[in-house]
Chains A and B, each alone.
Chain A
Amino acid sequence: MRQSLNATPAPAPWCQRIASPIARNAIWKAAWILDHPDAVAGRSVSDLPLHVLARVYTAEAVNEIALLAAECFGAMGVMRDMPLQKYVHDSMVFVHSEETDGAAKLAVAEAVAGFRRPAADAA
């Protein structure tokens, strides 16, 4: 265990502990709903694209958690002989996979508003 006499750098681990279970819960719920379409029809759960919400939230949470974890390692967080810099770098792929986070949020907003995009714009 690395020790620092300085007691201040505490917030990072707490943020990680909060974001991580929320992301996990979002993924489980989205997966469960895909397995149980009747729950949507019966209005037990929302009919929003929760799998998109789960992907966007998880991508952002992974980014934040990786960067905060790297901060805990100080300078070793950016050294190539430690894995933290790779986690930060790899986590960015999730923000751009399938569609960018911004485009995914727009799709969720359109679902909330009941907006149907013209076919020519949907690409």
Chain B
Amino acid sequence: MDFSLNEEQRHWQAEARKFSEEELRPRSLEHDQIEGGFEPWNWEIIEKGSKLGFRTLAVPKEWGGPGVDFVSQALVMAELARGDSAMSKAFSQNWKWSHLIASACTNDQKERFLKPFLADHRYVMGRGITEPNAGSDNRMPPEDDPKAGYRLRAVREGNDWILNGEKCFIANGSVGSLFFVDARTNPDVNIRSGGTLFMVPKTTPGFRIGKVFNKRGWRFYQNAELIFENARVPHANVVGDVGTGSVKAGKGDTTGGDIFGDLELAANALGVCDDACQMAMAHASKHKRAGRYLMEHQLVQLRINEMHALTEALRSYVMRVAWQHDRKEHSANAGLVMNWSTDVIQRVTRLNMEIHGAEGCMMNARVDKLVRDAMVWTHLAGDTVQRVKVLRRLGKGARAVAGANAD
């Protein structure tokens, strides 16, 4: 096997590391500790990163973007997350939907949405799947039950669709310029044949942002309610065909969307683990307990060993999945590495807290922040539905196509 990086991959890794160390890490704790849901957000950080290419990283070269491969994307996500996990996610969230636009949208839609996305450093995107009463049911809906899954209703009226309902916890919800929204165009059949994917700009009449959620971890990252009250969306904004469900709407988009989302969460976790290892090593080398440096205590040595072993194993798995994506080999590994990254990030950040002792949860705000950020993986990447869902891919082998991912 060849683990070497090519020149372009090394370039993006170095750029991301520099931006992360100079711009993200110094502001990470400051933004984490700002009270409120929206308030920790900062457009200046997004603009600076956007000018370096991190917002539009996945837009294909033929459309004017950097169009980097999955290995580079994984490297960049991990480097940015080492500076701040939530800020890294704010950038990479856009890559999913630029993948989707590029592979599934018409030329007219690309002209209307991809070009403005490339031109505006404040243009970010999100996807609305989760609703107040439909989260897990969207990820793994019962096959034939029309009551399962999202309920947001879309009714055709001439050349428009009228949308009514609500989405919640939507990524980039309070700051997004464009949202991919799953709506029910036929409530009498199951979600796969009764669902349609729409592109909804923030300026759409009848569409507004509701509550902005105030989270324990990932505080910089924005999650909000999207409210549709007779929102009028032109038929020209339908992705793919009506009534094909959100996955098929992507017309074979198995390189972006859902499977990218699996890699994204695992690569982000890797950056957090790198940060935790670095912190633990520094603390254990400088602080004494019972007359000896912490590093000299076997108990601490065992914990640092475990932290590094888990982190390096995660790095190997993340890079393997990224490499497989670049070879168009989409296996269950993407889901498995996402599930496992939940276990690793939570174990490694807690071990870091343990090495810092009581200081970890009472005085060292960054140790505490990493643990709080890691909590987000519980419902996003490692919950029981996500773990069971991977079994479907294992069962189908290489032919597997992922289901909708509601993050």
B384 touches A80 (CB 8 A): no
Q: How far is the CA of A115 from the CA of B218 in the complex (A)?
A: 45
Query: A59 CB to closest chain B CB, in angstroms?
Result: 11
Number of interface residues of B (CB under 8 A): 45
Q: Which residues of B contact A86 (CB under 8 A)?
A: 216
Q: How far is the CA of A93 from the CA of B375 in the complex (A)?
A: 16
Query: B131 CB to closest chain A CB, in angstroms?
Result: 11
A78 touches B358 (CB 8 A): no
Q: How far is the CA of A77 from the CA of B379 in the complex (A)?
A: 8
Q: A70-B375, A92-B371 are in contact. Are A100 and B354 (CB under 8 A)?
A: yes
Residue of B nearest to A85 (CB): B216
State the total of A-B contacts with C-beta under 8 angstroms: 112
Task: Say if the beta carbon of B376 comes within 8 Å of chain A.
Answer: yes
Which residues between 151 and 196 of chain B lie within 8 Å of chain A, taking CB atoms? 168-169
Q: B22-30, B43-51, B132-140: which one contacts chain A? A: B132-140
A102 touches B360 (CB 8 A): no
Task: Say if the beta carbon of A113 comes within 8 Å of chain B.
Answer: no
Which residues between 70 and 123 of chain A lie within 8 Å of chain B, taking CB atoms? 70-71, 73-75, 77-81, 85-86, 88-89, 92-93, 95-97, 100-103, 106, 120-123
Task: Say if the beta carbon of B145 comes within 8 Å of chain A.
Answer: yes
Task: Say if the beta carbon of B303 comes within 8 Å of chain A.
Answer: yes
B140 touches A8 (CB 8 A): yes
Main DSSP-derived SS at the A contact region: helix
A89 touches B379 (CB 8 A): no
Q: Which residues of A contact B168 (CB under 8 A)?
A: 75
Which residues between 58 and 77 of chain A lie within 8 Å of chain B, taking CB atoms? 67, 70-71, 73-75, 77
Q: Which of B136, B147, B289, B303 contacts A74 (CB 8 A)?
A: B136
B375 touches A5 (CB 8 A): no
Q: A102-B299, A106-B299 are in contact. Are A70 and B378 (CB under 8 A)?
A: yes
Interface set of A (CB-CB < 8 Å, partner B): 2-6, 8-12, 67, 70-71, 73-75, 77-81, 85-86, 88-89, 92-93, 95-97, 100-103, 106, 120-123
